[in-house]
Amino acid sequence: METLLKINNLNLGFEIEDNFYPAVKDFSFELKKGTIHAIIGESGSGKTMSVMSIIKLLPKNAKITSGEILFDGINLLNLKESEINKIRGKKIALVPQDPMTSLNPLYTIQDQMTEAILAHYDYTKEEAVEIAIKNLKNVGIYDPEKKLKVYPYELSGGLRQRVIIAIALSLNPDIIIADEPTTALDVTIQAQILDLLSDIKKQGKSIILISHDLGVVNKYADFISIMYMGRAVEEADVKTLFKNPKHPYTKALIEALPYNKEKRLKNIKGAPSPITEFISGCEFHKRCDFKEQICEDKIFKLCQQQDGSKVACRLYNC
């Protein structure tokens, strides 16, 4: 299976009041062509920051200290802003987190869709409108000619999210980054949006899906990376991960899922430490039932297992 994008040992953090706090630590990741790769973790785990590094949409106080992001044979981290602008949207598109605020309320859907198309291609306005109509149809929006004329406030949250996905598709990107695309949507609409992303994958697109919910991605993802406090602790194809989870954090996340009515739900004790707190060794050791002294002293890196998965834990000789 062809690797479309590869992140190698990415490190980034935030400069806060003359101090530097690591937020993503030695993160590595491969996106295979025509797959959905989910990145899972609690709030503050670094999943969004690691992926936003790909298109350089980071806060002003964020700083990448090392690593590389390889796409089309080039390291995206070496590109100037003018160069990354040619890739952002056209080659790698973003479906942002909140559909209720991601569209500009002062412009019609047509204005916002055609603006993106005309910024990257030498089309006439009429041709851009036709492309917009086509992509609204592709995401299941009824009567697209009429929807182009409305403003975002006239649409429901689910329809706004479909419009955002249509904007992403309008430039025919190779990769779509979906950052918690079902946030603020009700459960029924969530399933529709995720089904839509699954259909888009079948058309040959590759999708990075950011989520905090293992239960949601179980049905849709092909591969999963588990992040904890900025570090990848486990990576596997979805079937392997759910059949044989290895890292204590992954096991705890699965045991907390409400899909098994015969078992009582388990909560994960404690909470992630703030970014300003330095933790030696494995960041999860304070919450882990299997910790030993080595866990407080050593940082474990992902190591390959016989079933093809990767895990960063002393229990697996890493």
Rounded alpha-carbon distances, angstroms, from residue 174 to 3, 53, 304: 12, 17, 28
Q: What are the backbone dihedrals phi and psi of residue 3, each rounded to the nearest 5 degrees, phi first?
A: -85, 125
User: What is the block-wise mean pLDDT of the chain (318 residues), using blocks of 10 residues?
Assistant: 93 94 95 95 91 94 96 94 91 86 92 92 93 93 94 92 92 93 80 90 93 85 96 96 95 80 71 88 93 93 94 90
Sketch out the chain's domains with CATH numbers.
Answer: 3-316 (3.40.50.300)
> Distance (Å, rounded) from C-alpha 133 to C-alpha 147?
9
Q: Is 146 exposed, middle or buried (0-12, 13-18, 19+ CB in 10 A)?
A: exposed
Which pLDDT does position 116 carry in this prediction? 86
Which pLDDT does position 260 carry in this prediction? 56
Q: State the pTM of this model.
A: 0.92
Which pLDDT does position 271 carry in this prediction? 84
Q: Pinpoint the alpha helices (H) of the chain.
A: 47-52, 81-87, 109-120, 125-138, 144-147, 157-169, 187-202, 214-220, 238-243, 248-255, 293-297
Which pLDDT does position 66 carry in this prediction? 96
Which pLDDT does position 267 carry in this prediction? 78
